[in-house]
Amino acid sequence: MIEWFAVQPWITGVVTFFLMWSDWLLTISQERERQLHYSEHYESYPINTIEGNPLYQKAVLARQIVDRRHIVPAAILSAIVALSLVWIPEGFRVLLIGYVWGLYFIVITTHLSNLLGYRAARRGLHGKLYLHQRTGYVIQMSRYVALASFLIVLAICSASMFMLGVAIAGVSSAVRQLVGMRKTPAIDPADPAPKPI
């Protein structure tokens, strides 16, 4: 099946675009759930946001279904993926699709996990968690390292170029969290709570 996508670059580009937009829509759904229900139990600091990319934080907070700062780059990147499938050697096409789609499969499943967790927390959860953004990055990076380990084993056992691409996406997702963490303000050594608890 995946070999078919490797020779259908424009269809692969369209699927890539919809994966990117699904990531966006799930981010908006997660933010909606956080604002309506989960915010009484969870707050990140120094900035209270679920979106790690500062470029998108305002649009996510406003729950914009379509934001040009997201949709235009998504369309451009999808076109680049499609064009890449035309230009790169045939043996690397499935690997590329595995990598690009793997990035979004990983993020989408993370959003689904968070969203389901937020919904489950509507009942039976008491108190409030204040989580520094750096700590959040470390937690997410740990999840991605564990997932990447599983994906690497799966890629080796299956000898699939697609799974190898997905495994590489898992590793790069963990690295991306490390980079995001380093861009976030350091945790104060005293680490005072952001407000009285």
Distance CA 154, CA 151 (A): 5
Domain that includes residue 126, residue range = 2-183
In a domain, 68, yes or no: yes
Residue-wise pLDDT for 106-134, tens only, equals 999 999 999 999 899 889 988 888 999 99
On whether residue 191 sits in a domain, the answer given is no
Task: Note whether residue 129 is domain-resident.
Answer: yes
Whether 190 is in a domain gets the answer no
Residue 105 forms part of a structural domain? yes
3-state secondary structure of 45: strand
Low-confidence ranges of the chain (pLDDT < 70): 195-197
Total of domains in the chain: 1
Please check whether residue 48 lies inside any domain of the structure: yes
In this structure, is residue 156 part of a structural domain?
Answer: yes
Task: List 104's β-bridge partners, or say none.
Answer: none
Q: In this structure, is residue 195 part of a structural domain?
A: no
